[in-house]
Amino acid sequence: MIASELKNIRELTLPELESYFNDIGEQKFRAKQAYEWLWQKHAHSFDDMSNLSKGLRTKLAKQFSFPALRIDTTQYSSDGTVKSRFKTFDNHLVEGVLIPTENRQTACVSSQIGCSLSCKFCATGYMIKKRNLNYDEIYDEVVMISQQAEKVNNKKLSNIVFMGMGEPLLNYNNVLKAIEKISSPEGLGMSPKRITVSTAGVAKMIKKLGDDGVRFKLALSLHAANDKKRNEIMPINETNNIKALIEALNYFYQKTKSEITLEYILFQNFNDSLADAEELVKVYRQVPADLVNIIEYNPIEAFRFAKPDEKTTDAFMRYLESKRVNVRLRHSRGKDIDAACGQLANKG
């Protein structure tokens, strides 16, 4: 059998692995050892499983594939941000970022290779979507960024944001399964409350998150508070308009009581006036959002907009605060290595 025809060993549950080990005459505890290597000890090949005999490792390699993600290149920003380009078993490239601050070590992870949504301000949106990442590949991203946090900063990973390449809710099953493994005691044991999934706004999948009772946080990339402007920069709004998203977010919150954030990138002379701020206030009041994140725009070659000056940004922020909106300005990190919000495009 060629490798691509073999079953991915990480698709087996522990009982399935135990059943296989029993069939080949191996003791049950050996299956548990192998399973720990797959998820807790972060093996990247069968050869890494040092407490299994060489004969058993050879047998596993003949029976199963182990398509682990690998680091292709790593770049270090002057502000401490670390961007990694990962290579998949079938030679696709995808990026993830470690964002360190004084109180947090955050992994920004990707869910797809490329993206199909074509948001005008996002470099990934100009790439062709090749495929979804499998849940074990997403898990590998988090593991390797976590290892970087410990190696570079001597600190444990504290948060995960699905804000890298791709639309997480269009890879729904893999994203949820990855989060299940990340938050499981047999995986990384991270609290779902430290995980945020960011969406460009797929209303029916936001409702499905509610039906599935997820415990992680949700962020909506809003970026314009009326349909005309949002259609212009985010084509997805034509089929998932602001009214539909407000309804979906209320449904999600009613079902989960999980935290919701609205994300809003400021673009000069497009969505940065006080009239735009007032429209944002109106949306905020219709959604059970905890926070509005105002994000600095990071220029990309293909998009005509620029970042507003400090005075305009301050006036926008002050207006929101005067209307009792819980608002925070998120400063971009890793701009010098194209690792900031909206810049991921496998440039290396």
Provide the annotated active-site residues.
95, 341
- Whether the CB-CB separation of 227 and 241 falls below 8 Å is answered with yes
Is the CA virtual torsion 160, 163, 166, 172 positive or negative?
Answer: positive
The residues, any chain, with a CB within 8 Å of residue 128's CB and separated by 6 or more, are 114
Strand partners for 97: 83, 108
CA distance 330 to 339: 15
Strand partners for 292: 262, 327
Helix H segments across 115-184?
Answer: 135-153, 172-183
Q: What are phi and psi of 209, to 5 degrees?
A: -55, -40
- Classified as helix, coil or strand, 113 is strand
Q: What share of the chain is helix, strand, coil (3-state, %, to 5)?
A: 40, 20, 40
CA distance 307 to 281: 21
Residue type, 249: L
Cβ burial, residue 235 (10 Å; 0-12/13-18/19+): middle
Q: What is the DSSP letter of 283?
A: H
- How many CA within 13 A on the CB side of residue 203? 14
Q: Which two tokens stand for residue 27?
A: 């003791």
CA distance 343 to 337: 9
Residue type, 81: T
Q: Which two tokens stand for residue 10?
A: 């990480």
Distances (CA, A) of 175 to 30, 41, 162, 189: 29, 21, 9, 16
